[in-house]
């Protein structure tokens, strides 16, 4: 299937966003050869800064294969941001509503039209103390197993140094000038799941394979080893509650 044309609105977004990115940051882009030239595909991207969607979008725009992001539905409602999201074909996510499956269907439709759909499998900014990818949610794996589309892992680093997540003051730290590193890897091998029913267990295992590929890329980017087990925010929150209850009982 031929690639989708970039279109007026995405080009307009690039005209607005690229100049400040080029001026304010250095770039270290790797692995562009792994981005498919044609056909629908999925990217699985780590998320460590409010700024990193721009650095990743800049990287992929320059490959000629623009990503369709899944974004919170509230961002689409009004204003300039909403206008740009709607007209560039981004996919609204309605969390915990009767429309929650719409994003899943829209992602499948986009891939079948030959587009790229970008997933942040962690579902939010990483809460890992050392900025490693957390345990992922199963949406990307579900779409991948249903469509048989290739999953391209993408690791990025540097945006978090310019705008750290969850900082008390979300101010840009522009100096010294930061380098935005984005690295794509070869498609994740999910062949072991061919023909299997997408049970919760299968989806969890496929998600773990995807997140392991993203983490391995980030290890290469950072020159460090990640912890043996990915940070699980839900488990960590339950553990904090347990400890608080124990302290309160003393």
Distance between CA 142 and CA 154 in Å, rounded? 18
pLDDT at residue 170, rounded to an integer: 62
> Is residue 30 a contact partner of residue 56, using CB atoms and an 8 Å limit?
no
Pair of tokens at residue 135: 């345990």
pLDDT at residue 217, rounded to an integer: 98
* Closest by CA position to 182, among listed 154, 161, 163: 154
Q: Which residues contact 132 (CB under 8 A, 6 or more apart)?
A: 126, 215, 218, 226, 227, 230, 231
pLDDT at residue 245, rounded to an integer: 67
pTM: 0.89
Q: Which residues contact 235 (CB under 8 A, 6 or more apart)?
A: none
* Positions in the chain short of pLDDT 70: 1-5, 95-100, 169-170, 242-250
pLDDT at residue 195, rounded to an integer: 92
pLDDT at residue 147, rounded to an integer: 95
* Closest by CA position to 28, among listed 144, 133, 156, 203: 156
> Is residue 29 a contact partner of residue 62, using CB atoms and an 8 Å limit?
yes
The domains located in the chain, with CATH, are 8-249 (3.40.1130.10)
pLDDT tens-digit series, residues 37-94: 999 999 999 999 999 999 999 999 999 999 999 888 888 887 888 888 888 888 888 7
pLDDT at residue 73, rounded to an integer: 81
Q: Tell me 125's DSSP state.
A: S
pLDDT at residue 97, rounded to an integer: 56
| CA 38 centroid distance within chain | 20
pLDDT at residue 250, rounded to an integer: 62
Number of separate helices (H) and strands (E) present in the chain? 8, 7
CA atoms within 13 A on the CB side of 14: 19
Distance between CA 217 and CA 155 in Å, rounded? 6
pLDDT at residue 7, rounded to an integer: 79
């Amino acid at each position: 299937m031929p690639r989708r044309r970039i279109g007026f609105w995405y080009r307009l977004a690039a005209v607005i966003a690229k100049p400040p990115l080029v001026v304010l940051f250095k770039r270290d882009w790797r692995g562009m050869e792994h981005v498919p030239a044609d056909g629908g595909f999925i990217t699985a991207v780590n998320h460590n800064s409010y700024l990193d969607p721009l650095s990743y979008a800049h990287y992929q725009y320059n490959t000629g294969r623009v990503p369709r992001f899944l974004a919170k539905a509230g961002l689409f409602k009004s204003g300039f941001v909403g206008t740009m999201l709607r007209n560039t074909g981004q996919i609204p996510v309605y969390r915990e509503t009767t429309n929650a499956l719409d994003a899943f269907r829209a992602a499948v439709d986009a891939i079948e039209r030959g587009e790229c759909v970008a997933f942040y499998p962690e579902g939010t900014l990483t809460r890992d103390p050392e900025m490693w990818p957390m345990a992922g949610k199963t949406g990307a794996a579900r779409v991948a197993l249903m469509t048989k589309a290739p999953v391209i892992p993408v690791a990025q680093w540097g945006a978090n140094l310019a705008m750290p997540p969850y900082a008390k003051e979300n101010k840009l730290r522009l100096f010294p000038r930061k380098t935005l590193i984005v690295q794509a890897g070869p498609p994740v091998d999910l062949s072991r799941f061919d023909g299997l029913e997408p049970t919760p267990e299968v989806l969890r295992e496929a998600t773990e394979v995807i997140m392991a590929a993203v983490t391995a890329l980030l290890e290469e980017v950072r020159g460090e080893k990640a912890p043996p087990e990915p940070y699980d925010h839900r488990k960590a929150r339950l553990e904090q509650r347990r400890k608080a209850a124990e302290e309160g009982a003393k």
